[in-house]
Amino acid sequence: MGLALLIFVLKSIALKTGDDRYDHAARFWIKIFAITFAVGVVTGIPMEFQFGTNWSRFSKYAGGVIGQTLAMEGVFAFFLESSFLGLLIYGEKRLGRKLHWLVSLVLFAGTWLSGFFIVATDAWMQHPVAYASGRDGVVLSSFWGLILNPWTFWMYLHNMLGTVVTASFVMASAGAFYLLSQKQQEYGRIFVRTGVIAAAIASVLMLFPTGDRQGVMIARYQPATLAAMEGLFETASGAPIAILGQPDMDQHKLDNPLLIPRALSFLTYQQWAAEVKGLDAFPHRDQPDTIPLLYYSYHIMVGLGTLFIAVMLVSLWLLRKGRIYESRPWLWVLMLSLPFPFIANTAGWMTAELGRQPWLVYGLMRTADGPSRQVSSGNTLFTLIGFMGMYALLAILFLFLTRREFDHGPEPWFESSEPRTPRSTNVAL
Amino acid sequence: MATVWYCLVALMIAGYVILDGFDLGAGILHFSIGRTESQRRRVIRSIGPVWDGNEVWLLAAGGTLYFAFPGLYASSFSGFYLPLMMVLWLLIMRGIAIEFRNHLEDNLWRPFFDALFMLASALLAIFYGAALGNVIRGVPLDANGSFFLPLWTDFRTGPDTGILDWYTVLVGLLAFVTLTVHGALWIAIKTEDLLQHRARIIARWAWGAVAILTAAVTLATFRVQPLVLHNLTTYIWGWIFPDLALAGLVAMLVFILRGDDLKAFLSSCAFIAGMLTSAVFGIYPYVLPSNADPRLGLTIASTQTSPYGLSVALVWFIPGMLLVLAYSTFIYRHFAGKVRLEEEGY
């Protein structure tokens, strides 16, 4: 989703300036996008099936509400994405510049719509609204109530910015890779410049306002989650925020804490002395099940997010000074930063989903009540192991294919005046 | 209102089978029609720009089914757990195979991925047919509306049946040959000379198999699920669906013999649509009949979501799907015409 935005940006620059290099750059990233999309489609189908196969009681209970957003994703977003991706890949010559640019815009809109409906579905599970009780569970009572769920807004923006951070870090990292290995240097500079600017904007917005607003919502509607995320075991006025520390579940305290006094109270309620409820304020059965995992996920997300801002502000400064392309140590930093946005995104989603526990639908349905009753645990273990193997294979194949594209690089391999020869002919002969 | 959605879901499924059907068929055939690398590439290129768009119909149909009949989605997807997992695996393998055979310039692995693509396509066609067979025959539902079937037992259709019995295997074979013809006709439209010639020959022979199996499955269905015959005799207008299938079948042969590939392909679409709508009409008002006690069968009324949800969704569904049809038509027109290898994508 983030890459779709960046491709659109590259296509827009190409259209505006008439600079062919941006078209080549866009074409290169479209290839990466296509590989990622194929992996996304094949792993996305199991996700939809799972609602019925593994979570049938949940589906029966909540299908009346979240079926709407899931079906809308199919009708409005998924068709759009897949149809126009085909056009984007295969249609550049026939469509011409302007139409091809338009196709990249539609693809961008499609992916972001897709994200909206998925986040809206998850937001309803975090903060159920617009429902009434029905025969098998809950049913929808207000369509607009579901779409305009207040939880969706900030979660959606936060999530989409996360995708932009990831894509722009990948782009900057690829640029640094080309500059350091002294090939495709012109494109290396384009990637570093575009990536750094986009990443700097997105990482700042990630923390404020979107991350901050989400924290306030969690404090208000999921207080037990907040306490677990922050590792706050005891209710306190003027509660501190823990920068570091390891939750000790036996003694109910943080080991080796590094605390900023009163900061949590201030961030949550804008008052230094406000009372924040700790885990002791909630019965054990209403606390998240895996507090240490939740605590670490949250801290990894926030810690990395802060580092991203620092890295990108320095990069922006170097870019302004015009020194970034020559500064080898800093290019190494950019190149090696590649995996961290992926880790931060995963940690962020783990925070959201672990934080919702023990609820499947917050306050309405417990996770333990959701799975299919007639599917035995042996069966699910069998398929889980199978999927782990299959996904590991997919990951290897994905890395292999993208690696090949990075080796090729964006430099066109044909003279633009001659008709393009397929890459594979030399092998076929 | 729920009946409207019953029809819409049926249409979505028919849309999926017709569209993904031809690329499944092309997948089944590309090994036997394309003997050299460039021939195979031409066959693959004929579905290259559209196959994942076609697969989206499955997601959209699934999403629509889930939203309109959550009770059915919950019951059938968990009941058919293992077969659905196999379908997922096949879909994944098929996606991997087509992506890799396009990206990999390697004489060792390309044939491997080609074979994987063929195998996954063929098995998917059979599985879809068997799934339809299960829905028509009915499953051993309990009072909660759930069930769990073993993969196979003694291959009889009685109360202790499994997912595979003689009837569902028969329907699976019919689906296989139907999609083979469907794919062959698509290839014939999209290619020239030798490839077109081979595709036409395959279509001609496979048509015979379709005709024989259609007759066999129809007779078997009347025996296995008496409700179908009952519906057809109660509501005379319902004959329109089997008539559509029959007309499609006959027209297909006529156009195949005349060498009019496009019309033959459209007839094949009509045949598939006719067969599927006949099945759906045949089990109405059930969405999943019981094979033991008819009272336990899941019906439209017992699995539908709230009337409010159904009517509000109609407001976005109709314009949404019209939009989809509009730009899909545009894209198919854009890629219309014979496949030329010079216009390779990247």
**Which residue of chain B is at minimal alpha-carbon distance from A386?**
B89
Q: Are strands A275-276 and A359-361 parallel, antiparallel or unpaired?
A: unpaired
Is the minimum CB–CB distance between B306 and chain A shorter than 8 Å? Answer: yes
The answer to whether B63 contacts A428, with C-beta atoms less than 8 Å apart, is no
Q: Which of A354, A274, A308, A376 minimizes the C-alpha distance to A54?
A: A376
Tell me the residues of chain A between 389 and 428 that have a Cβ less than 8 Å away from chain B. Answer: 390, 394, 397, 401, 404, 419-420, 422-424, 426-428
pLDDT at A190 over 50: yes
In chain A, residues with a C-beta closer than 8 Å to the C-beta of B95 are 38, 41-42
Percentage of chain A modeled with pLDDT above 70 = 96
Rounded Cα distance, A179 and B87, in Å: 45
Q: Name B177's Cβ contacts closer than 8 Å, sequence gap at least 6.
A: B206, B209, B210, B213
In chain A, residues with a C-beta closer than 8 Å to the C-beta of B334 are 87, 91, 94
Instruction: Report the residue of B47, B55, B78 to disrupt the A interface, i.e. the one with the largest count of A CBs within 10 Å.
Output: B78
pLDDT at A427: 36
* Residue A269: CB atoms within 10 Å: 16
The tens digit of pLDDT for each residue in A235-262 reads 988 888 888 889 988 888 888 888 888 8
**Which residue of chain A is at minimal alpha-carbon distance from B92?**
A42
Q: What are phi and psi of A273, to 5 degrees?
A: -105, 5
Lowest mean pLDDT among A171-180, A361-370, B90-99: B90-99
The answer to whether A42 contacts B66, with C-beta atoms less than 8 Å apart, is no
Domain ranges of chain A: 2-207+296-413
Alpha-carbon distance B84 to nearest alpha carbon in chain A (angstroms): 8
The tens digit of pLDDT for each residue in A99-152 reads 999 999 999 999 999 999 999 999 999 999 989 988 888 999 999 999 999 999
At the top level of CATH, the class of B2-337 is: mainly alpha
The answer to whether A401 contacts B100, with C-beta atoms less than 8 Å apart, is yes
Q: H or E segment at B223?
A: helix B193-224
pLDDT at B49 over 80: no
pLDDT at A422 over 50: no
| Structural contact between residues A331 and A195, judged by C-beta atoms closer than 8 angstroms | no
Domain ranges of chain B: 2-337
CA dist A169 to A158, A201, A305, A312, B278, Å?
A: 16, 12, 12, 9, 54
The answer to whether A73 contacts B63, with C-beta atoms less than 8 Å apart, is yes
Q: Quote the distance between the C-alpha of residue A115 and its chain's center.
A: 9
The tens digit of pLDDT for each residue in A268-302 reads 888 888 889 999 999 988 999 899 999 999 999 99
Q: Chain-wide mean pLDDT for chain A?
A: 89
pLDDT at A429: 34
**Which residue of chain B is at minimal alpha-carbon distance from A88?**
B345
The tens digit of pLDDT for each residue in B186-215 reads 999 888 888 888 889 999 999 999 999 999
The answer to whether B67 contacts A52, with C-beta atoms less than 8 Å apart, is no
Alpha-carbon distance A69 to nearest alpha carbon in chain B (angstroms): 8
**Mean pLDDT value of segment A301-307:** 94
The tens digit of pLDDT for each residue in B7-16 reads 899 999 999 9
pLDDT at A329: 93
Is the minimum CB–CB distance between B91 and chain A shorter than 8 Å? Answer: yes
CB-defined contacts A:B, below 8 A = 231
In chain A, residues with a C-beta closer than 8 Å to the C-beta of B84 are 49, 52-53
pLDDT at A175: 93
Instruction: Report the residue of B149, B306, B330, B341 to disrupt the A interface, i.e. the one with the largest count of A CBs within 10 Å.
Output: B306
pLDDT at A352 over 60: yes
pTM: 0.88
Q: Are strands A241-248 and B286-288 parallel, antiparallel or unpaired?
A: unpaired
**Which residue of chain B is at minimal alpha-carbon distance from A377?**
B81
pLDDT at A413: 59
The answer to whether A401 contacts B309, with C-beta atoms less than 8 Å apart, is no
Is the minimum CB–CB distance between B237 and chain A shorter than 8 Å? Answer: no
pLDDT at B158 over 70: yes
The tokens describing B335, both together, are 């890629």
The answer to whether A82 contacts B56, with C-beta atoms less than 8 Å apart, is yes
In chain B, residues with a C-beta closer than 8 Å to the C-beta of A70 are 63, 66-67
Sequence-distant contacts of B148-157: CB under 8 A, at least 24 apart? B148/A374, B148/A375, B148/B78, B148/B79, B148/B81, B149/B79, B149/B80, B151/B82, B151/B83, B157/B224, B157/B291
Q: What is the 3-state secondary structure (H, E, C) of chain A?
A: CHHHHHHHHHHHHHHHHCCHHHHHHHHHHHHHHHHHHHHHHHHHHHHHHHHHHCCHHHHHHHHHHHHHHHHHHHHHHHHHHHHHHHHHHHCHHHHCHHHHHHHHHHHHHHHHHHHHHHHHHHHHHHCCCCEEECCCCEEECCHHHHHCCHHHHHHHHHHHHHHHHHHHHHHHHHHHHHHHCCCCHHHHHHHHHHHHHHHHHHHHHHHHHHHHHHHHHHHHHCHHHHHHHHCCCCCEECCCEEEEEEEECCCCEEEEEEEECCHHHHHHHCCCCCEECCHHHCCHHHCCCCHHHHHHHHHHHHHHHHHHHHHHHHHHHHHHHCCCCCCHHHHHHHHHCCHHHHHHHHHHHHHHHHHHCCEEECCCEEHHHCCCCCCCHHHHHHHHHHHHHHHHHHHHHHHHHHHHHHHHCCCCCCCCCCCCCCCCHHHHC
In chain B, residues with a C-beta closer than 8 Å to the C-beta of A403 are none
Q: SS3 for A234?
A: coil
The tens digit of pLDDT for each residue in B277-307 reads 999 999 888 888 888 788 888 888 888 888 8
pLDDT at A357 over 50: yes
The tokens describing B175, both together, are 């689906």
**Which residue of chain A is at minimal alpha-carbon distance from B304?**
A64
Alpha-carbon distance A181 to nearest alpha carbon in chain B (angstroms): 24
The answer to whether B63 contacts A71, with C-beta atoms less than 8 Å apart, is yes
Q: What are phi and psi of B50, to 5 degrees?
A: -120, -15
